[in-house]
Amino acid sequence: MNIHGQPHRSIEADHSRQSARIIDQTFLPHHVEWRELRTMEDAAEAIQVMRVRGAPLIGATAAFGLFFALREDASDAALQRAYEVLHATRPTAINLRWALDRVRRVVAPLEVEQRAAAAWEEALAICEQDVETNHAIGRHGLELFRAIQAKKADPAATLNVMTHCNAGWLATVDWGTAISPIYQAHDAGMKVHVWVSETRPRGQGASLTAFELKEHGVPYTLIVDNNAGHLLQRGMVDVVIVGTDRVTAHGDVANKIGTYLKALAAKAHDVPFYVATPVSTIDWTIADGIRDIPIEQRSAREVTHMPGLNEAGVREEVLITPEGTQARNDGFDVTPGGLVTALVTEHGAVAATAEALERLRVLI
Work out whether 167 is an interface residue with ligand MRU (CB under 6 A).
yes
Q: Give the Cα separation of 337 and 334 in Å (integer).
A: 9
| Interacting residues with ligand MRU between 314 and 343 (CB under 6 A) | 331
- Asked if 346 and 340 count as a contact pair (C-beta separation under 8 A), the reply is no
Phi-psi group of 125: left, alpha or beta (phi > 0 → left; psi -120 to 50 → alpha; rest → beta): alpha
Smaller CB separation from ligand MRU, 184 or 255: 255
Residue 278 has phi, psi (to 5 degrees) of: -70, 155
Q: Is residue 171 close enough to count as binding ligand MRU by CB under 6 A?
A: yes
Report the C-alpha gap between 95 and 332 in whole angstroms. 15
Give the residue, chosen from 133, 244, 304, 335, that forms a contact with ligand MRU under the rule CB under 6 A.
244
Stretch that binds ligand MRU, among 9-17, 163-171, 263-271, 312-320 (CB under 6 A): 163-171
Beta carbon nearer to ligand MRU, 119 or 182 = 182
Report the interhelical angle of 95-107 vs 55-72 (nearest 10°).
30
55 contacts ligand MRU (rule: CB under 6 A):
yes
User: Based on CB atoms, which residue is closest to ligand MRU, 149 or 204?
Assistant: 204
Could you tell me which of 88, 87, 26, 86 has the C-alpha nearest to residue 53?
Answer: 26
Catalytic residues: 245
Region binding ligand MRU by CB under 6 A among candidate stretches 2-10, 15-23, 51-59, 115-123: 51-59
Say whether residue 184 binds ligand MRU (CB under 6 A): no
* 3-class SS letters over 27-74: HCCCCCCEEEECCHHHHHHHHHCCCCCCHHHHHHHHHHHHHHHHHHCC
By CB under 6 A, which span of 115-123, 190-198, 240-248, 265-273 interacts with ligand MRU?
240-248
Residue 203 interacts with ligand MRU (CB under 6 A): yes or no: no
Binding residue (CB under 6 A) for ligand MRU from 133, 184, 255, 304:
255
Residue 231 phi, psi dihedral angles, 5° rounding: -70, -40
The binder of ligand MRU chosen from 20, 26, 46, 54 (CB under 6 A) = 54
At closest approach, how far in Å is the CB of 16 from ligand MRU? 30
Residues 94-153 contacting ligand MRU, CB under 6 A: none
| Type of residue found at 309 | L
256 interacts with ligand MRU by CB under 6 A: yes
Say how many CA atoms lie within 13 Å of 322 toward its Cβ.
2
Task: Note whether 69 binds ligand MRU by CB under 6 A.
Answer: no
**Bridge partners, 282 (sequence order):** 247
On whether the CB atoms of residues 27 and 33 are closer than 8 A, the answer is yes
Which one of 10, 89, 172, 209 is in contact with ligand MRU (CB under 6 A)?
172
Q: Which is nearer to ligand MRU, 244 or 304 (CB)?
A: 244
When the beta carbons of 61 and 244 are compared against ligand MRU, the nearer one is 244
Task: Give the DSSP H/E element, type plus range, for residue 186.
Answer: helix 180-187
266-305 footprint of ligand MRU as x/- string (CB under 6 A)? ----------------------------------------
Q: What's the min distance (Å) between Cβ of 334 and ligand MRU?
A: 12
Q: Is residue 267 exposed (0-12), middle (13-18) or buried (19+ Cβ within 10 Å)?
A: middle
Q: Please state the φ and ψ torsions of residue 259, each to the nearest 5 degrees.
A: -65, -45
Contact footprint for ligand MRU (CB under 6 A): 53-56, 93, 165, 167, 171-172, 176-177, 204, 243-245, 255-256, 331
